[in-house]
Structure 1
Amino acid sequence: MRWDALFDDLDGQWDAEQRLEREGEVVDRLRREQAALTLDDRLAATHGRRLSVELLGGLRLSGAVVDLGDGWFQLEDAGRALVVTSAVTTLTGLGRGAGPAGGSRRLGLGYALRRVSRDRRSVRMHLVDGQVREGHLGAVGADHVELHEHPVDVSARRRETRAVVVVTHRALAAVLEA
């Protein structure tokens, strides 16, 4: 009987060690998977979720994620805001998981800016250095966008462009509907 108890105890210890080893492997695999995720991957799981965002230049935004692509996402609250992912300093409300690839996710910042440009609406462009410029978007290049500067409260018919400013994508933090 004592031998049976001893072997049962050894079997139990062996099973416990095996279980701990498997759990450690699972935790290690999860950490490796988490380490490979990009912010874009995590944002892909947030469609419809409300986020609070802080950007280079001091801008703070909040709203529900309504669209996203490669290097950008769009928030909607009282209006729409196109946010450049590389300008994000902090996010609140982001889940831990990653979302599926697909949709407009593979489309870059140029795509999103062309969509805004096509609407010809007045915008406030926030730059990573804190500058805010107003006007409407013109031509969108591979790494830059034209801003036709004018006051946002001027009607679309009476827009008098003061200047056409070329802004590089890397200087851009967000474009907000005016």
Structure 2
Amino acid sequence: MRWQQLFADLTAQFEAAEEAGSRAEWASRARAEMGAVRLADRLGGSVGSELAVTCRGAGRVTGRLADVGVDWLLLADERGWDQLVAAAAVRAVTGLGRWTAPAQEDSPVRARLDLRHAVRGLARDRSAVQVVLDDGTVLTGTVDRVGADYVELAEHAADLPRRAGAVRQVHAVVIGGIAVVRTLLPGWD
């Protein structure tokens, strides 16, 4: 009888140690997998959610997450403004859901759809925009062109079309200095 108790006790100890080892390995593996998740992937699982994004220079930017790019995210706010947020300016995000989008390989096409590409679409549309720089400076006007590392913005009142007489000055804005680009509706400034 004593031998049976001894073997049962040893078996129970062995099984408990094995289970503890498995739990520790699983937790370690989960931490390692979470350590490989990028913010863009984490945000991708929250498309459609209402978020509050704290940005260097722009402060708190809120809206429904409409899309996520390689170095930007697009929020649609209650005023009808689309807000293109540079990922480099993001300091914190509130309102993320429980899900994370599956990690995606950066294909050559996806890698080219960066902030410059998104701003080129605004230049093509000739949309009035508000550009908030990472130091808090706010510029309003129309994007004339997008270079390799800068955006050329013709500054004018938001309620005026981009015409030579309305342009106050032209700014060459370094892409890395952009925090948020907001599309403006007529009459908003």
Q: Same fold (TM over 0.5)?
A: yes
Map 1:81-120 to 2 at 5 A. 81-95=83-97, 97-100=99-102, 101=104, 106=111, 107-120=113-126
Output the CA distance in 2 between the equivalents of 1:159 and 1:24: 69
Q: Is the Cα contact below 8 Å between 1:42 and 1:96 reproduced in 2? A: no
Q: Is the Cα contact below 8 Å between 1:66 and 1:75 reproduced in 2? A: yes
Q: Mind listing any 5+ residue stretches in structure 2 that lack a counterpart? A: 185-189
Q: What amino acid does structure 2 have at the position aligned with 1:32? A: A
Q: Is the Cα contact below 8 Å between 1:114 and 1:140 reproduced in 2? A: yes
Deviation at 1:94, TM superposition (A): 2.3
Which contiguous aligned blocks of 4+ residues in structure 1 show a shift greater than 3 angstroms? 95-98, 102-106, 155-159
**1:40-99 CA-partner distances (Å, limit 9, x unpaired):** 221222211211011111421111111111110100122210000110111101246531
Which is further off, 79-88 or 103-112?
Answer: 103-112
Q: Mind listing any 5+ residue stretches in structure 1 that lack a counterpart? A: none
Deviation at 1:150, TM superposition (A): 0.3
Question: 1:136 is matched with which residue?
Answer: 142
Using the size of structure 1 for normalisation, the TM-score is: 0.90
Q: Is the Cα contact below 8 Å between 1:74 and 1:80 reproduced in 2? A: yes
Q: Is the Cα contact below 8 Å between 1:68 and 1:105 reproduced in 2? A: no
Question: 1:60 is matched with which residue?
Answer: 60
**1:87-118 CA-partner distances (Å, limit 9, x unpaired):** 01111012465313279853211111112222
Q: Is the Cα contact below 8 Å between 2:58 and 2:180 reproduced in 1? A: no
Identity %: 39
Deviation at 1:7, TM superposition (A): 1.1
Paired positions, count: 178
Which is further off, 156-165 or 104-113?
Answer: 156-165
Map 1:36-51 to 2 at 5 A. 36-51=36-51
